[in-house]
A and B are shown apart, each in its own frame.
Chain A
Amino acid sequence: MGACLDNVPVGQTIRVRAVSLSSEEREWLGAVGIVAGEVLTVLRRAAFGGPMHVRTEDGGEFAIAQSLAAAIETESAG
């Protein structure tokens, strides 16, 4: 089992394995473009536990709260 997104180092590309959130929050993440199977690259983290900046495979870039990233399970993108 891979790490959750909040623990993925900057610069690393991973695949979303599962999203452990309420269906409402999962749906919202899905609408934005972050779903199980999506490949994400961690671009940076804001200082002092601020949001994470990630890029999806399609080129969409998003800021995601750390608390949300902690609910996104990841696996190797390979």
Chain B
Amino acid sequence: MTAECHTDPAPEASKGGEEQARTGLRVVLVGRPNSGKSSLYNTLTGGNAHVGNYPGVTVDILEADVALEGGRTATVCDLPGFYSLAATVDADTDEGIARRFLDAPHDGPRLVTQVIDATQLGLGLTLTKELLRRGEALQLVVTQNDLLEADDRRLDATALEAALGVPVCLVTGRDRAARTRVLEALAAHPLGATSAGTWEPKALARSVIRSIEAGAPSTGILGPSRRQRATAALDRLLLHPLLGPVLFVGIMTLIFAAVFLVADPASDAVNWVMGLLGKLITRGLGNGLLASFLVDGVLGGAGTVLAFMPQIVILTVAMELLDATGYLARGAFLVDRVLRFMGLSGRSFLPLLMGHACAVPAISATRIIRDPRERLTTILVLPLMTCSARIPTYALVVSTFFSDRGALFRAALFVGLYFAGLLAGLLASLALRRTATKGRGLPLVLEMPSYRTPQPLLVAKKGYLAAKRFLRDVGTTILAVAAVLWVLLNVPVPGRGSPSDPVIERSVAAAVGQGLEPITRPAGFDWRMNVALVGSFGARELMVGTMGVILGVEDADNDTTTLAQKIRDAKKPDGSPQYTTRTGLSLLAFFVLACQCMSTVAAIRRETKSLRWPAFVLAYTYGVAYLASVLVYQLAGAFGIA
């Protein structure tokens, strides 16, 4: 294990001024995707991170303060990975964000630390040249040096430093000394402006990588490294024309199965704890309005938020693992042709996959899509993917109306609902690419990184951050909507009904629900269903809980059996069942299509920087959802489904 750093000592004369300049030093980590940047960030900061606040940069840029020798500190910022600053197409993509960050005026000294993968030095040096042309104070940290050494090659850092005129630091994969060395090197950096020079990236890379035995520069084409050979062998299997797609479907199925198997007991545990807390509050405060507000409004909302956390975390961790191993790019390669039918490309694969957990982080993940039209299309169809918040309602409908069917039928119905979301996304994308996002797209160019072993700490950290972001971006909305909904369900409209009627039937929500009945009757929805749908306009997670409140089932999130029975038993004034299989199917159609999530709408607003697109998503998803549920209800009736 080695960490070798070469630094030019700062000129003696400038030491005093430099001392002062180094106070508030900002170290900006940049590099190509898969260069080992996140890993270095973690090593330097010890995993500490908070989201920096940068004017004009609307995305989360992680930063952390690190202590330098002599009690000084530097702030290390982690920019998204990018290939080039010069070839920026869209200001909102990762490279656009990085460029805006670097272009923004900064007070205090700044050092750009570029992370380069030693096994792809030539490619990394192309970006180095761009950074030097900009005159950035630059430091190079070359990672994966151990992999180079495993192939009996070595990087001559002194020669590279001499050619570039900037300090070069070599670190190995899991090097304990790397932190100290890199920090020493950046503390000693003269922070002077740089110039590009006349070197050519590929030629320079070849001249500084030497064979360990001969000590002479490697010339001509280098043979594939050990890791590349292992990658090639794995790719022969994972990208096999027949086996590849089969394994891909298998891996995706495993991930979703894991979500259901692991997240379900975790969510049940959260619900159980919340139920217990609710009972304690009721015991302490009695059955008054305040207790009801705290238990049903606040605690119910918090429980709903927390119950979704396990799914979000598991899916995020699974995706991080896929990304860290290098398989995600293979998935994109395999599905590119399918996505092209939708007018998208393999680049949209990650956001679309993430959308099956939660559309909010998925919308942020579209920043990896370079083509502005493709990116916008992906954002606009993401609300149609089957996010985890739809699952409780699907489960309720399936257990209410299809409990007499076999487990296989119910499982097939569930899978069918997932595919219904994908099909809706496909059709919406096809329509959008011919209308709103019409135009020639940028063809796919996607790096296929070598396979790697993921670093558990880094993956765990991403899972933790995902949970935190979910709480911030989605949790607060759900909590607020739950509280407002409680008021609407519990405050009676003066003069409405007789005092002996349950409050719920005299409530503001009931008035709204009944007002909507003429519109929703063709879809089979009565006022109660309308109230639940209006309640889930802000957050579809609240559907089951709201149905529970309306039908008088306490703790409906936990006790869906009682709720299902109540729904089956509900009668119209003429004594016929209020809700039938037709209603269930119609409700499913509505839930597949409608964007019942204010957090998603806010995320679309944030990413598109316009009100037009979130309004468009609301209008088209609700319009189509209404038409689809009317169609399903009427067709089911025509086909004699009760």
Using a CB–CB cutoff of 8 Å, the interface residues on chain A facing chain B are 24-25, 27-34, 39, 43-44, 46-51, 53, 55-65, 67-68
Given contacts A50-B333, A51-B336, contact A32 B444 (CB under 8 A): no
Q: Which residues of A contact B449 (CB under 8 A)?
A: 61
| B444 contacts A65, C-beta separation under 8 Å | yes
Q: Report the minimum CB–CB distance from B242 to chain A (whole Å).
A: 9
Which of A29, A33, A63: most chain B Cβ within 10 A?
A63
Interface of A is mostly: mixed
| B87 contacts A31, C-beta separation under 8 Å | yes
Please name 17 pairs of A and B residues whose Cβ atoms are closer than 8 Å in the assembled complex, sorted by A: A31-B83, A32-B447, A44-B239, A46-B334, A51-B336, A55-B224, A57-B122, A58-B122, A60-B120, A61-B448, A61-B449, A61-B450, A62-B447, A63-B336, A63-B448, A65-B443, A68-B445
New contact pairs (8) apart from A24-B87, A31-B84, A58-B121, CB-CB < 8 Å: A28-B445, A39-B221, A49-B337, A50-B333, A51-B337, A58-B202, A59-B228, A65-B445
In whole angstroms, how far apart are the Cα atoms of A62 and B450 in the complex?
11
Q: Report the minimum CB–CB distance from B382 to chain A (whole Å).
A: 22
Q: Report the minimum CB–CB distance from B489 to chain A (whole Å).
A: 52
Using a CB–CB cutoff of 8 Å, the interface residues on chain B facing chain A are 83-84, 86-87, 89, 119-123, 126-127, 202, 205, 221-222, 224-225, 228, 231-232, 235, 239, 241, 245, 329, 332-334, 336-337, 345-346, 370, 442-450
| A64 contacts B445, C-beta separation under 8 Å | yes
Given contacts A63-B329, A63-B333, contact A30 B87 (CB under 8 A): yes
| B120 contacts A47, C-beta separation under 8 Å | no
Q: What is the chain A residue whose CB lies nearest that of B450? A: A61
Q: Which residues of B contact A60 (CB under 8 A)?
A: 120, 123, 447
In whole angstroms, how far apart are the Cα atoms of A51 and B345 in the complex?
10
| B448 contacts A53, C-beta separation under 8 Å | yes
Q: Report the minimum CB–CB distance from A61 to chain B (whole Å).
A: 4
In whole angstroms, how far apart are the Cα atoms of A53 and B235 in the complex?
10
In whole angstroms, how far apart are the Cα atoms of A55 and B123 in the complex?
12
Which of A34, A51, A64: most chain B Cβ within 10 A?
A51
Q: Which residues of A contact B445 (CB under 8 A)?
A: 28-29, 32, 34, 62-65, 68
In whole angstroms, how far apart are the Cα atoms of A32 and B445 in the complex?
8
Point out the residue from B121, B245, B446 that lies within 8 Å of A62, measured CB to CB. B446
Q: Which residues of A contact B447 (CB under 8 A)?
A: 32, 60-62
Q: Report the minimum CB–CB distance from B315 to chain A (whole Å).
A: 24
| A53 contacts B126, C-beta separation under 8 Å | no
Given contacts A59-B120, A60-B123, A62-B446, contact A27 B84 (CB under 8 A): yes
In whole angstroms, how far apart are the Cα atoms of A65 and B122 in the complex?
23
Q: Report the minimum CB–CB distance from B455 to chain A (whole Å).
A: 22
In whole angstroms, how far apart are the Cα atoms of A25 and B440 in the complex?
12
Q: Which residues of A contact B126 (CB under 8 A)?
A: 30-31, 33
| A50 contacts B336, C-beta separation under 8 Å | yes
Q: Report the minimum CB–CB distance from A45 to chain B (whole Å).
A: 9
Q: Which residues of B contact A47 (CB under 8 A)?
A: 241, 245, 337
In whole angstroms, how far apart are the Cα atoms of A46 and B446 in the complex?
13
Given contacts A32-B83, A59-B225, contact A51 B241 (CB under 8 A): no
In whole angstroms, how far apart are the Cα atoms of A29 and B442 in the complex?
11
In whole angstroms, how far apart are the Cα atoms of A31 and B221 in the complex?
20
| A59 contacts B446, C-beta separation under 8 Å | no
In whole angstroms, how far apart are the Cα atoms of A36 and B345 in the complex?
25
Q: Which residues of A contact B122 (CB under 8 A)?
A: 33, 57-58
Q: Which residues of B contact A65 (CB under 8 A)?
A: 336, 345, 443-445
Instruction: Name the 7 nearest CB pairs between A and B, nearest first.
Output: A31-B84, A65-B443, A50-B337, A68-B443, A58-B122, A61-B448, A27-B87
Q: What is the chain A residue whose CB lies nearest that of B125? A: A58
| A43 contacts B346, C-beta separation under 8 Å | no
Q: Which residues of A contact B329 (CB under 8 A)?
A: 63
Given contacts A46-B333, A49-B337, contact A27 B86 (CB under 8 A): yes
In whole angstroms, how far apart are the Cα atoms of A64 and B345 in the complex?
11
Q: Which residues of A contact B221 (CB under 8 A)?
A: 39, 57
In whole angstroms, how far apart are the Cα atoms of A29 and B83 in the complex?
10
In whole angstroms, how far apart are the Cα atoms of A24 and B442 in the complex?
10
Q: Report the minimum CB–CB distance from B117 to chain A (whole Å).
A: 9
Point out the residue from A43, A49, A50, A57 that lies within 8 Å of B235, measured CB to CB. A43
Q: Which residues of A contact B228 (CB under 8 A)?
A: 55, 59
Q: Report the minimum CB–CB distance from B148 to chain A (whole Å).
A: 11
| B442 contacts A25, C-beta separation under 8 Å | yes
In whole angstroms, how far apart are the Cα atoms of A51 and B329 in the complex?
12
| B123 contacts A33, C-beta separation under 8 Å | yes
